[in-house]
A = this chain, B = another copy of it.
Amino acid sequence: MPETTHRVTFEPDGRTVDVPRGWTLLEAAQAGGIALEAPCGGQGTCGGCRILIPDGPPEPSEAARRLLSREELEGGLRLACQVRVRARMRVVVPRETRRRDAPILTEGTGFDVPLIPNVRKRAVHVPEPSVTDQRADADRLLDALADEGLEDLTLPAPMLREVPRRLRSLDFHPAVTVVGREVVHLDRPTAADACYGLALDVGTTTLVGYLVNLATGEVAATASRANPQAAYGDDVIARIEYCGREKRGARTLQTLVVDAINEILAEACRRAHVRPSVVYEAAMVGNTTMNHLLLRLPVDAIARAPFVAASASAHSVSARGIGLKMHRRGRLYTAPLVAGFVGADTVGVILATGMHASDGLRLAIDIGTNGEIVLGTRERLLACSTAAGPALEGARIRCGMRAADGAIDRVDIEDDAVTVRTIGDAPATGLCGTGLIDAVAAMVAAGVLEPTGRMRPADEPADAAPGLARRIRTADGETSFLLAEGAGRARDVLLTQRDVREMQLAKGAIAAGVGSLLEAFGASLDDVEAVLLAGAFGNYIRPDRARAVGLLPDVPLEKIRFVGNAAGAGARMLLVNRNLRHVAADVAKGVEHVELSRRPDFQTRFADAMIFPGG
When the two chains form their complex, are residues A163 and B306 in contact, meaning their CB atoms are under 8 A apart? no
Task: Determine, out of A190-198, A220-228, A291-299, the stretch whose residues face the partner at the interface.
Answer: A291-299
Contact partners of A131 in chain B: CB under 8 A: 305-306, 595, 598
Q: How many residues of A contact B (CB 8 A)?
A: 52
Q: How many angstroms from the CA of A156 to the CA of B297 in the assembled complex?
A: 11
CB-nearest residue of chain B relative to A162? B298
Contact partners of A295 in chain B: CB under 8 A: 157, 160
> A292 to chain B: closest CB distance in Å?
9
Q: A5-B4, A161-B298 are in contact. Are A310 and B136 (CB under 8 A)?
A: yes
Contact partners of A296 in chain B: CB under 8 A: 157, 161
0/1 per residue, A92-126, Cβ < 8 Å to B?
00000000000000000000000000000000000
Between A and B, 24 residue pairs with Cβ closer than 8 Å are A1-B18, A1-B582, A2-B5, A3-B5, A4-B5, A4-B18, A5-B5, A131-B595, A134-B339, A134-B340, A134-B595, A135-B308, A135-B339, A136-B337, A138-B310, A138-B313, A139-B311, A155-B311, A156-B317, A157-B295, A160-B310, A161-B297, A164-B301, A165-B298
Q: How many angstroms from the CA of A339 to the CA of B135 in the assembled complex?
A: 7
When the two chains form their complex, are residues B161 and A301 in contact, meaning their CB atoms are under 8 A apart? no
Contact partners of A136 in chain B: CB under 8 A: 308-313, 337, 339
Chain A 276-324 residues near chain B, CB threshold 8 A: 295-298, 300-301, 305-313, 315, 317
Interface flag for A66 (CB, 8 Å): no
> A487 to chain B: closest CB distance in Å?
50
Residues of A within 8 A of B (CB): 1-5, 7, 18, 20, 88, 129-131, 133-139, 155-157, 160-161, 163-165, 295-298, 300-301, 305-313, 315, 317, 337, 339-340, 582, 585, 593, 595, 598
CB-nearest residue of chain B relative to A163? B310
Q: How many angstroms from the CA of A202 to the CA of B306 in the assembled complex?
A: 52
Q: How many angstroms from the CA of A310 to the CA of B138 in the assembled complex?
A: 6
Q: How many angstroms from the CA of A161 to the CA of B251 in the assembled complex?
A: 12
When the two chains form their complex, are residues B5 and A308 in contact, meaning their CB atoms are under 8 A apart? no
When the two chains form their complex, are residues A160 and B1 in contact, meaning their CB atoms are under 8 A apart? no
Q: A129-B306, A133-B306 are in contact. Are A138 and B312 (CB under 8 A)?
A: yes
CB-nearest residue of chain B relative to A315? B157
When the two chains form their complex, are residues B157 and A585 in contact, meaning their CB atoms are under 8 A apart? no
Known: A1-B18, A134-B306. 8 other contacts (CB 8 A): A2-B20, A3-B3, A3-B5, A131-B306, A136-B311, A136-B337, A137-B309, A156-B317
Q: How many angstroms from the CA of A296 to the CA of B164 in the assembled complex?
A: 12
Q: A88-B88, A161-B298 are in contact. Are A3 and B2 (CB under 8 A)?
A: yes
Q: How many angstroms from the CA of A305 to the CA of B128 in the assembled complex?
A: 12
> A593 to chain B: closest CB distance in Å?
7
Q: Which 3 A-B pairs have the closest CB atoms?
A: A138-B311, A136-B312, A136-B309
